[in-house]
Amino acid sequence: MDSITFIGSIAALCTTISFLPQVIKVRRTRHTADLSLPMYIIFSLGVLLWTCYGVLTGSWPIMLANTITLGLSLYIVAMKVKYK
């Protein structure tokens, strides 16, 4: 793995796992009143587009990280809708 791919992989790991504390908190408390639904919807769209970009360019760190981040973000959206 070259240094550019390594840096991208570490960046992808950091941004992806940054959502875990929020997902865990929402799952544990079922409290979503303070979360912005429009922000998470727009963010999820952006992550979906990053995933498409990763597929089109063949960049596995972008594909993998954004696919996982999209799942975490959509989980928060679903819980926000469910627990208004």
DSSP 25-80: HHHHH---TTS-HHHHHHHHHHHHHHHHHHHHHT-HHHHHHHHHHHHHHHHHHHHH
Q: Which domain holds residue 9?
A: 3-82
Task: Give the CATH number, domain containing residue 62.
Answer: 1.20.1280.290
* Structural domains in the chain (count): 1
- The pLDDT score that the predictor gives to residue 55 is 97
Rounded distance between C-alpha atoms, residue 55 and residue 77, angstroms: 24
Rounded distance between C-alpha atoms, residue 20 and residue 52, angstroms: 22
Q: pTM to 2 decimals? A: 0.88
Q: Flag whether pLDDT at 1 surpasses 80.
A: no
**Chain segment 15-74, per-residue pLDDT in tens:** 999 999 999 999 999 999 999 999 999 999 999 999 999 999 998 888 999 999 999 999
